[in-house]
Amino acid sequence: MLIIGIAGGTGSGKTTVARSVIDRLGSDKVTFISQDNYYKDHKDRSFAEREKINYDHPFAFDNELLVEHLGLLKAGQTAYAPVYDFTKHARYSDQTVELKPSSIVIIEGLHVLSDENLRKLLNIKVFVDTDPDVRVLRRVIRDIEDRGRTIQSIHHQYLTTVKPMHEAFIEPSKKYADLIIPEGGQNEVGIQLLSVLTEKYLSGDPSSFDS
């Protein structure tokens, strides 16, 4: 099993890169995991309390569960990822995403390279490096359209947690990357390179990717 980790700041294009690679390889050959599914559940707290949590810190994610699920996949077993409701800051209690084992696993998320235990499991580590202005605009559109946020709440969160956590954790994690893809989904050369490396593994030559 080849495990690819794709990290980068909010709105950098991580998901677009992952989906572009999957389109080239074929969805039947790849298991896709979003780290966003693994936000810790805080349903025992009131909504007002949940709103105050720093969701941009690495500790906001249940990476222990993610590592456990990767272990199941490597053992040829199916795992079930939680589903997170961003409008309520809590997991859906009755929904999961079925993760079936395959030759290629792609994980994308803010802190995929920030966590040492998770990082050790990655065969290829990718960082998507996109201009901050572009990332902010993408974040604003996403949070308004998909997560029901107000422009005031987005502005407050960006200044108090998003930007500080990016500078403290996400940007420094770039040093662990094997491949840096500037401008995310707009970088066809970078996506093609990652796809070629992955296809080489699928062709039966996994020796180059041993951890």
Q: What is the pLDDT of residues 116-136, one digit of tens each?
A: 999 999 999 999 998 888 888
**What percent of the chain has a predicted confidence (pLDDT) above 90?**
67
Mean pLDDT, rounded, of the chain = 91
* Domain that residue 147 falls in: 2-200
Using one digit for the tens of pLDDT, what is the confidence trace for 131-152? 888 888 888 898 898 888 899 9
Q: 158 pLDDT exceeds 90?
A: no
Report the pLDDT value the prediction gives residue 207, as an integer from 0 to 100: 61
Q: Is residue 169 situated within a structural domain?
A: yes
Q: Is residue 207 situated within a structural domain?
A: no
Q: Is residue 127 situated within a structural domain?
A: yes
Report the pLDDT value the prediction gives residue 211, as an integer from 0 to 100: 47
Report the pLDDT value the prediction gives residue 206, as an integer from 0 to 100: 57
Position with higher pLDDT, 24 vs 210: 24
What CATH number is attached to the domain comprising 51?
Answer: 3.40.50.300
Domain count, the chain: 1
User: Given the structure tokens 């456990």, which residue do they identify?
Assistant: 68
Report the pLDDT value the prediction gives residue 80, as an integer from 0 to 100: 98
Q: 209 pLDDT exceeds 70?
A: no
| Least confidently predicted of 49-63, 102-116, 189-203 | 189-203
Q: What letter represents residue 40's amino acid?
A: K
Q: Is residue 209 situated within a structural domain?
A: no
**What percent of the chain has a predicted confidence (pLDDT) above 70?**
97
C-alpha distance from residue 180 to each of 39, 125, 127, 163, 175 (Å): 25, 9, 5, 20, 9
Q: Is residue 55 situated within a structural domain?
A: yes
